[in-house]
């Protein structure tokens, strides 16, 4: 879920073990074995409902910009907002 949860799991369930930790930007990058074990497994996956209660038009526009079919829109967003990025995992 987040780094705090990861640290908690490493200190308890995986204590003394060396788990293989991987990260993916999106589901399209994951090998099918990882998808089967995580996202597609009904026993382990989590589905969270996200509700936008304010600024729906702005949110819709931003989601379209970042997840839409135009990579140039994502590039423009990154260029315009890069100076505000913090806590990057590089």
- pLDDT tens for 5-37 read 999 999 999 999 999 888 777 778 888 888 888
57: in domain: yes
- Residue 50: pLDDT above 90? no
- Number of domain units in the chain: 2
Question: 61: domain range?
Answer: 49-90
> Are residue 53 and residue 87 in the same domain, yes or no?
yes
80: in domain: yes
59: in domain: yes
Chain segment 67-78, per-residue pLDDT in tens: 888 899 999 988
Q: For the whole model, what pTM was predicted?
A: 0.41
Compute CA distances 89 → 13, 23, 49, 63, whole Å. 24, 11, 26, 22
Per-residue model confidence (pLDDT) at position 90? 65
Query: Do the Cβ atoms of 27 and 37 come closer than 8 Å?
Result: no
């Amino acid at each position: 879920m987040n780094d705090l949860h990861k640290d908690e799991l490493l200190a308890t369930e995986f204590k003394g073990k060396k788990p293989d930790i991987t990260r993916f930007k999106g589901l399209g990058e994951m090998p099918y074995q990882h998808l089967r074990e995580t996202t597609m497994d009904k026993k382990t996956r989590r589905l969270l409902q996200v509700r936008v209660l304010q600024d729906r038009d702005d949110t819709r526009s931003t989601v379209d910009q970042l997840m839409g079919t135009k990579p140039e829109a994502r590039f423009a967003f990154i260029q315009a907002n890069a100076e505000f990025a913090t806590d990057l995992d590089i």
